[in-house]
Structure 1
């Protein structure tokens, strides 16, 4: 979680220092040296896997080193602020996420960077829907049945999340609002992995979780998949309907991963990075690797990604404020 102590670490580490300005003619010689792809979360997570995949693609396309580097801490803010305040020449690329660039700035006070003004979006790499999974003992087999049960027992059906402001939490908030129900939402402060044992024992009734993480338990019949929260059906769950298909378009939500450089970087560099990234993401082997963990490849243009990020930032700000979600 991002705390006052973690924010103090940012200042102590010097990540708030001003970056250097862009030099003229950089685009024609880019990259002038090694490029660091900064990963805001720990090795092994989806952010890490996607970042390393993109670093490899950039290195092959440019014929120059692109080195993936984990800079964890402060719920992604340390890595994001490092890039925001770093050189404005494309030598630092951030794999930003739904949390670093759409939700956390609304949840935590005195945030160290502006997710819109301090960054130049490059491309949306991939989106990931959440999976609504319930314990079979709850006795519901569809979203309609879950809604009926929740209306009959307000506040007595429990949705578990991996923490306040997490993607699971926000998906549950949207479901409550869209379905007109009152699921009780409880948070496991040590992350989503700690939700699973209680869910399997039916100590909590349901979750909105990572489709890949929940896949084995659904296949074994230990959990039941009711819907996904994406705009399109998940490649992992082609037979599971979306919330929109079930008449709840307001419950649509995505986690996402996208590349950013510091604001002020030569637009020609941004466009070149975006074009190379988009071409890489559309390669069949790269797209297949992205789909293997439940993500949907994108590879849109910098302008399209900028519009997407602004819409996400605005939308989640409204949801978070309406729900009163805030960490002091």
Structure 2
């Protein structure tokens, strides 16, 4: 399994979590539970249940809950192995499927997320501005979004190029696994499509030969991961709903005349079958170039083949759309 450059292994990440927990006096045994998960001693459902049990009996519920969120986001930034990111995504989805967390103490607990306070009485369900704990995973989307600002920004922050690409690949791989499992959770993942299409268009609709877009290839591996891991869900989403992404110059240049002639220029930002097939053509073009290494060429070819398979096999079901 390919790795651009390993930021850290799951063992190293868990050790850092353990060190932090000890320094903060936390009681959530994230290290031990997660170690069992990554070693396949327990599954994601059992791990989620154990974590939730510890959080709910903590003397500081808010801190204990946020430690779980920070742990997941931190791991998504750092873990490079696809299989580990798959397990992490499954753990996240398992947390969202847990029963509503309740205040199991005899006192009122005050929570404050994003400067919005909530008072949770004894026996009440923990509900904050973003929704319920666990079904709505408050603060998860916010913290994930704070990490996903792209390889160019990571490089500007001082991260080496290969590490910037790896971090971006890690996060997008994790997000793709979340999307691929969205049918099994009440948690809404619709916001992740923003990153999906932004990543794909940036890597496939901008020319890395130009100085302005020289970093676009740093998103190619992430784009391929989106397509190969969650391509079917992404294709279906873009066919059933009007999904948009800013049109890049390569899309403009190649299809400008056709879009104007067909009267669709005003809808050029829509994600359409034609645009998907343009991505497949661009992937083939990159796979046949000398701009990327052999392993990434194989990923590009596989992604292009999957896109054409989606286009060939897709049958739009109007009844599903109405429902």
TM-score (norm 2): 0.26
Whose strand fraction is larger, Structure 1's or Structure 2's?
A: 1
Q: Which has the larger radius of gyration?
A: 2
TM-score (norm 1): 0.26
